[in-house]
Each structure stands twice: as C-alpha cells, then as structure tokens.
Amino acid sequence: SRVTTQDQLEYEYIVVGSGAGGGPLACRLAMAGHKTLLIEAGNDQNGNINITVPGYQAVVTNDPKLRWDIFVNHYQDQTRARRDPKFSYEVAPYKYYVGPDPPFGATPLGILYPRAGTLGGCVTHNALILITPHASDWDGIATITGDNSWAATNMDQYLDKSVMGVQPDPTISALTGLAGTLLVDPNSRLNPNRDSTQGFFQIPLIMKDGARKAVRDFIAATVKGGYNLTVRENCHVTNITFDTSGSKPKATGVNFLDGKYLYRASPLSGDQGTPGSATASKEVLISGGAFNTPQLLKLSGIGPFAELKSFDIPVIADLPGVGLNMQDRYEIPVNVKHGTDFNVLNGCTFDGKPDDACLTKWENNPYFLAQRGAYATNGLAGAMAVHSNYASTTDIDLFIFGGPVDFTGYFPDWNDASLADHKHFSWYTLKAHTRNTAGTVQLRSADPLDTPIINFNYFDTGTTAGGADTLDLNAMIQAVNTSREALRKYADYAILGGDAFVEEEPGPDVQSNEDIGQYIKDRAWGHHASCTAAIGADGDPNAVLDSQFRVRGVQGLRVVDASVFPRIPGVFIQAPIFMVSEKAADVILNGETT
Ligand SMILES: Cc1cc2nc3c(=O)[nH]c(=O)nc-3n(C[C@H](O)[C@H](O)[C@H](O)COP(=O)(O)OP(=O)(O)OC[C@H]3O[C@@H](n4cnc5c(N)ncnc54)[C@H](O)[C@@H]3O)c2cc1C
C-alpha cells in the first residue's frame, strides 16, 4: 500500500537529479556513511553503445531512450526568432519540421536545446570536453558573498577530487603534423598565466581508454562498492514537501511519480506515472539542471509570488530570483566544404550501422587509446584560445574549436546533418564570460510533467547596460574573422590533409562586420544554460541561495547544479559543476548544516 511505501522510503539525504551536480554529490554523501536516495527521472543506459563511444557524441543526443527535447526562445519576437533556419515546428507528436515555410497547421516550437534525462544527466550525452574554469570565476563568487571558501586558491582542491580521468583528444595524432604545433594542455596548472594564455590547444576529454567514463560510472561504482546509496530511476519528482509548523518552513522530502519517460520532453512520454513520496531526515538537495531546478522550486512554492499565485501554487518562500538571471554562451560556426573526404573519417558512419568500420576498430582495441581510431575522440581536432579586443578582463574569452564536421548548432536530427558527408570542416566559437543575464525560466502550467517556458532574450533584447550586447557581439564578429584567418592559413599548409574548399557558413555574401553581426544575432546558439537559482549576497533580493547552497527563506534545502552560479563560469561548464558538487558535499559533511 501507499503507506508501506512511504514508511520504507526514509533517508537522511535525498538528491534529485543525477547529473554533473547531483551525481557526485549523492556518491560523496553515501560514501561518508549517510543513507542517501538519488532520484533520477531517466534510467541507466549501461550497455547502450551510444553513451560509451565518444565519436557518437552527436548521435547520442538523438537517442530517444535518453533525450529530452526542450525548445527555447532566443527571441520572444517571433518574426525575429524565425530568421534562424534552425527554428522548428511540431507537425505530429515529436515529429518536427525545421526551417522557413512550415506546412500548414504546424505548431511553432522554437530552437531545440538538447538535454538528457538519464543516469548521469547531460554528462552521459555531452561532448566530453573538460576545461577548468578561470580563477576569476571563483574569486567573483567570494567577492559577491564575502565567503572566502569560494576563492580560487581554495577551490583547486575540488578540481583534484572531481577529475575522474581526462585525456587529450587523440584525433590530433591522426591528423598529420599538427600535434607538435599545439600547446598540449589548456588545463595546465603549471602555467601561472593559464587563464590569459592564447594559442592552439588539444582538447581534453573526460574519458578512460577512449570510452566515455564519468558521472554515470561513478554512481554505478558507488552502488557496487556497497555504500548506502539507493538510486531510484524512472522516478520524476513533482514537488518538495515542507513542514510549515515552525518559524521557517523545513524541507521534509519529495513527492514523485514512478514511471518510465514521464516528462513530456521525452519522445517516449505518454504515461501518467504512479504517485509516491520519500522523506529526508537531514536535507533535500535539488540538482535537476538549469531548466528543471527552477521549475521544481516553483512547483514547490519557492519563487516569485505573483507567478506562483497565477498557478494557484501555495507560496512557501517568495524568492523573485528563481528562474531569472539565466545565462549561456553564444556560439557560431565558420564552415567550409572540401572537394574530397577527410581520410581520417574513412569507414565512419557515426551511427553504429553494421558497416561502421570505425566502430569495429574502436571495439577491437579496448586497451590502447591510440589504436581505437576516430571514435576515441569527440571528432574535434584542436582549439584556439583567444583574448578578444572586447574582453572585460585579461582572461581569454573566445574558444574556437576546429573539426571535420558540418556543425551549425542544434535542431532536430542535427546529428545526421552534421555528419552527412566527410567533406566539411567547421571552426566554431564559444564566447566565454558573456554579459547577458536576462534569460528566464517560467512555468507553462502547474503540471510537473510539462516543460517550462524558456526565454534567453539574446543580445539587444537582453542585458544592454554599458553596451553589454554590443561588446559580446563584437567579440563574436572577431571570432568569425579569426576563424576565417585560420582557414586561410590551413589552406596554405594543407595541414589537415584537406584539399580546396568553399565557405558555406556564414558564406561568401556575409563579409562586412555589420552583415557578420546580423548573421550572429540570427543564428547563434548555446548549450551551457546556467545561473537560474543563483548564489548571491545577503540582502540581494534576487539571491536564491546563500554561499553554502542553502535556499533562502527555508531550511533543509539546497541546490547543487548549473543553476547555482551568479555568473556563467569558464569556457566549458561541466568542470565547474563537478567542482561545485564536490564543494557542496564538503560543506554539507563538514560545514554548518541548516
Ligand atoms: C549536447 C550537449 C553537449 C555538451 N557538451 C559539453 C562538453 O563537452 N563539456 C562541458 O563542459 N559541458 C557540456 N555540456 C553541458 C553540460 O553537460 C551540462 O551543463 C551539465 O551536465 C549540467 O549539469 P547539471 O547537474 O546542472 O544538470 P544535468 O546534467 O542536466 O542533470 C540533471 C538531471 O536531473 C534529472 N531531473 C531533472 N528534473 C527531474 C525531476 N523533476 N525528477 C527527477 N529527476 C530530474 C534529469 O533527468 C537529469 O538527469 C553539453 C550539453 C549539451 C546539451
């Protein structure tokens, strides 16, 4: 019966979400001897080749068994939003049309933002790139909060704990001549000026012996190790429960729905699930990611008063900052097409078809990274770190990746399009330290299985104070010009073994800075959404968390995931989230508790 179930589900800690933030945290709590429940909406994809082969980092984002299709708005103005050829429509349940001139009756959705509902979260489908954040990212949190445990010098210890095996991308050795010209390690801690060092780098990947190995494997090993960790997969948390009898509401546990693929972002959804609940005698820790954490807080009565009231959700704590302050990077490509295929990709179908010779090679050489071939990489050959003319600090603010793909951002079936032939090469830019803090996550309805409404409010529709939007745009324009310059040099040396090429994106017609700027505004994308339940100073009305991850206005509740950052950190985001996860475990186990 329901009562028996409830009686059985008593834990010290409940962690909701098993990704970069929640996974390591739950493991550390259990390893310290605490009875811990880790709840995950998705399930364990152990044995699914799509998650283990690094070369399948595109196809895995399209795997219905783990993917969550979230559609977002870069601009709320629909005319402007539809200038992006990636703008998508629904023509039948989970069947999409991409681009202008949709069929009659198609429902506009926006821009696809891939997410993973699976054990290990987005770390189980991401591109494996592990770049550590800049010292200024941590020092900034220390300055905002006055909590010096956030200083970069102190945060270093969590990097040591969290890095579970990082190797340089061996594509490089397969591409003749380039290896010797690269600064090997963009994470080097031997270089005191690492954060401001420009140049060409190899790309560090979080994997072991050429296979993805990360949070999912850490969780599995912790369970296997006999620690007191229970993983409840196929379980969607619908709200946090509170004891409101005292002066401050105290989180006591969660309500959930058991069932496979319940969230409507999953193309396999349809079931309603079976209700249940669990209690936490110590704390509830929310790690649902930058979109789901604010959604879950709001569904639980923690958020902006007026929004909660409009959905008849009883208010537990009026925190206006929940779902505000969302940030991301801007990304943009320069893509060229060669006359002939890149030899290094010969035999690679990138989808596990029976004739996928590259998969055979990967499978037959399990112990020798160098012999596993193209699939032991994420397909990207190298990166340029650049300090643009528009950076606010001495830190590099552009990371420009190159590889033999045709990548123009995310849209339904982007994986097929990006690897349809082996003739394309793409340099694509990530803008770090973006200044736009105007993104929002709002409830669509009070139904926990609905996705929220997500507005990024790009460029001039977002933060404009101090010319923020123009500075970010100008840095991106510089990145396009730098990528074109790199392509001209690579043509001179034929260094990657390619022959003559023509530029397809942005294309020969897009030359003036004004035209490049318009191209960027129309087509930029991001995939490091963050900062939606941010740590902030005491007295800041928009601060959702204090410096110890505690949700303000309540007891026994913390957030630990991409949502916690006041400003988007570093160049890539999983390393900072791993570090935050380790710090949270340390604070909970050794610090003050609520
Ligand atoms: C295509 C792609 C490629 C990427 N590549 C890289 C990369 O190469 N390097 C890098 O640094 N970053 C990369 N990222 C970003 C990085 O993977 C994510 O930012 C990071 O995993 C976020 O961690 P998180 O803990 O905040 O959330 P997630 O990792 O998203 O984990 C959240 C988990 O919570 C679960 N959950 C949510 N709501 C509920 C609920 N109500 N009940 C139960 N469970 C719930 C979800 O199922 C999910 O498993 C990439 C992202 C994408 C989309």
pLDDT at 178: 44
Residue 123 lies in a domain: no
> Omega into 506 within 30° of 0, i.e. cis?
yes
Residue 113 lies in a domain: no
Q: Has residue 177 got a pLDDT over 50?
A: no
Q: Has residue 103 got a pLDDT over 90?
A: yes
Identify whether residues 299 and 177 lie together within a single domain: no
User: 18: domain CATH number?
Assistant: 3.50.50.60
Residue 119 lies in a domain: no
Identify whether residues 474 and 560 lie together within a single domain: no
pLDDT at 182: 54
Q: Quick check: CB of 292 below 6 Å from ligand 1?
A: yes
Q: Has residue 2 got a pLDDT over 70?
A: no
pLDDT at 353: 79
Number of residues that this document lists for the chain: 594
> What is the C-alpha separation between 414 and 75, in angstroms, rounded?
21
Tokens 């950076």 belong to residue: 391
Give the distance, in angstroms, between the CA of residue 507 and the centroid of all CA atoms in the same chain. Answer: 29
Q: How many other C-beta atoms are found inside a 10 Å radius of the C-beta of residue 344? A: 20
Q: What residues contact residue 512 under an 8 Å CB cut-off, 6+ apart?
A: none
3-state SS record for 233-270: CCEEEEEEEEECCCCCCEEEEEEEEECCCCCCCCCCCC
Q: Quick check: CB of 559 below 6 Å from ligand 1?
A: no
User: 482: domain CATH number?
Assistant: 3.30.560.10
Identify whether residues 392 and 460 lie together within a single domain: yes
Looking at the structure of the chain, the number of domains it has is: 2
Identify whether residues 507 and 583 lie together within a single domain: no
Residue 61 lies in a domain: yes
Confidence of residue 183 (pLDDT cuts 50, 70, 90): low
Tokens 């973006």 belong to residue: 434
Q: Quick check: CB of 67 below 6 Å from ligand 1?
A: no
What spacing in Å lies between the alpha carbon of 266 and ligand 1's midpoint? 14
| DSSP string covering 155-213 | HHHHHHHH---EEE-THHHHSTT-GGGSBS-TT-SS-TTGGG--EEE--EEEEETTEE-
Whose CA is closest to atom 46 on ligand 1? 117
Which atom from ligand 1 is nearest to the alpha carbon of 39?
43
Residue 447 lies in a domain: yes
Of 466, 488, 523, which one is at a domain's C-terminal end?
Answer: 523
Identify whether residues 366 and 408 lie together within a single domain: yes
Confidence of residue 594 (pLDDT cuts 50, 70, 90): very low
Q: Where are the alpha helices (DSSP H) in 319-464?
A: 357-364, 414-418
Identify whether residues 480 and 360 lie together within a single domain: yes
Confidence of residue 188 (pLDDT cuts 50, 70, 90): confident
What spacing in Å lies between the alpha carbon of 532 and ligand 1's midpoint? 14
Q: What residues contact residue 465 under an 8 Å CB cut-off, 6+ apart?
A: none
Identify whether residues 222 and 275 lie together within a single domain: yes
| CA-CA-CA-CA torsion sign (569, 136, 462, 406) | negative
Does the interface predicted TM-score (ipTM) exceed 0.90?
A: yes
Residue 121 lies in a domain: no
Q: Quick check: CB of 562 below 6 Å from ligand 1?
A: yes
Of 489, 504, 523, which one is at a domain's C-terminal end?
Answer: 523
Whose CA is closest to atom 39 on ligand 1? 288
pLDDT at 492: 59
Domain residues for the domain of 354 are 49-85+169-212+327-523
What spacing in Å lies between the alpha carbon of 125 and ligand 1's midpoint? 8
Structure tokens at 50: 């799509």
Indicate the helix (H) or strand (E) that contains 303. strand 302-303
What spacing in Å lies between the alpha carbon of 515 and ligand 1's midpoint? 34
Closest CA to 329 of 570, 33, 5: 570
Q: How many other C-beta atoms are found inside a 10 Å radius of the C-beta of residue 349? A: 15
Q: Has residue 564 got a pLDDT over 60?
A: yes
Known binding-site residues for FAD equal 237
What spacing in Å lies between the alpha carbon of 20 and ligand 1's midpoint? 6
Q: How many other C-beta atoms are found inside a 10 Å radius of the C-beta of residue 254? A: 25
Residue 187 lies in a domain: yes
pTM recorded for the entire structure = 0.96
Identify whether residues 554 and 578 lie together within a single domain: yes
Mean pLDDT of 378-402: 92
pLDDT at 191: 85
Q: Quick check: CB of 473 below 6 Å from ligand 1?
A: no
Whose CA is closest to atom 50 on ligand 1? 126
Identify whether residues 469 and 543 lie together within a single domain: no
Of 523, 544, 566, which one is at a domain's C-terminal end?
Answer: 523
Number of H helices, E strands in the chain: 15, 24
Mean pLDDT of 51-56: 93
Q: What residues contact residue 1 under an 8 Å CB cut-off, 6+ apart?
A: none
Identify whether residues 460 and 347 lie together within a single domain: yes
Q: Render pLDDT for 459-495 as a digit per residue (tens, 0 to 9).
A: 999 999 999 999 999 999 999 999 999 888 776 545 5
Q: Has residue 245 got a pLDDT over 80?
A: yes
Mean pLDDT of 177-191: 65
Q: Which long-range contacts (CB under 8 A, 24 or more apart) does 360-365 make?
A: 362/53, 362/55, 362/210
What spacing in Å lies between the alpha carbon of 424 and ligand 1's midpoint? 28
Q: Quick check: CB of 61 below 6 Å from ligand 1?
A: yes
Q: What's the Cα-to-Cα distance from 593 to each of 90, 384, 398, 590, rounded to whole Å?
A: 47, 43, 39, 9
pLDDT at 56: 92
Identify whether residues 239 and 371 lie together within a single domain: no
Identify whether residues 360 and 412 lie together within a single domain: yes
Q: Quick check: CB of 570 below 6 Å from ligand 1?
A: no
Q: Quick check: CB of 216 below 6 Å from ligand 1?
A: no
Residue 356 lies in a domain: yes
pLDDT at 491: 62
